[in-house]
Amino acid sequence: MTLIVALEGQDGIVLAADSRGTIGDPRGLTAVNDLQQKLFKLTSHSGITISGSSELAASLISKLQDTMSQKGLVHVDQVAQEAVSVIQKEYFQWFGKRPWAGPQPIMDQRPSLIFLITGYNTQEGQSPMPRIYLLNNALDFALQTCSTGFMVAGIPQYAIYLIHRLYDRQMNLKSLKGLAAYLITETASQDPKVGGPIRMAEITPSQGYTELEETEIKRILQSNQKQNQRLRQFFFKGVR
């Protein structure tokens, strides 16, 4: 399993993911590895994160990256539409469309696969427009547009709770990076199917897609830990 996060703010977008892969039925005995890559650059101004079968997703993303390069796509709306076309074609060829029986769907036995695609439309003379899209095999990768400024997938329960308490669309990039890391570490503290090193990228209209160095992510985690300690001290000492 995993947790992937996309957060939009006043000066950019943050994409983040854990690196834990779970092998086996999560209802029973499982093994984990923390070497999974779930964050990828698509174009100069867009990126993608994955949840589900990471090896299958990596194969599809490789095709996506080739297609984006060949067609010279930049704007995230075009990128998302092309991603739907490529992913549906390959996935349906391998596993078929989701089976339906009248008004009630049959249980989907196909591999689970979720993508978050985010970035900017950067047309000359117009204000850059941020976008976050969700593609889920459970809906045959129909393009779902985020209207809230945030999207999480994988094991979202704890992250959704924290987002509703802490997130604001007017946050700057520094705050968004701290929050994205916090969502993953707090989820990992409660569910062992999330964990391992965090990978993160920021996307801005001027600089495009930039992946954070490990040292910067380490600083973010250390800062979050200090804030947690201050919060504990506040409640331990009480309000005066």
- Tens-digit pLDDT profile for residues 1-48: 799 999 999 999 999 999 998 776 666 656 677 889 999 999 999 999
- Calculate what percentage of the chain has a pLDDT beyond 70: 92
Q: pLDDT value at position 34?
A: 86
pLDDT at 128 over 90: no
**Pure H helices in 72-107:** 76-95
Comparison of pLDDT for 91 and 27, the residue scoring more:
91
C-alpha torsion sign, points 134, 127, 164, 180 = positive
- The band of 194, judged by pLDDT with boundaries at 50, 70 and 90, is very high
Q: Are 119 and 131 in contact (CB under 8 A)?
A: yes
Residue ranges of domains in the chain, CATH in brackets: 3-212 (3.60.20.10)
Q: pLDDT value at position 221?
A: 98
- The band of 201, judged by pLDDT with boundaries at 50, 70 and 90, is very high
Q: pLDDT value at position 126?
A: 74
Q: pTM, whole model, 2 decimals? A: 0.91
- The band of 98, judged by pLDDT with boundaries at 50, 70 and 90, is confident
Amino acid identity at 20 = R
Average pLDDT over residues 212-228: 97
Q: pLDDT value at position 236?
A: 79
In a 10 Å sphere around its CB, with 0-12 CB exposed, 13-18 middle and 19+ buried, how is residue 134 labelled? buried
Beta-strand pair 3-8/150-154: antiparallel
Q: pLDDT value at position 90?
A: 96
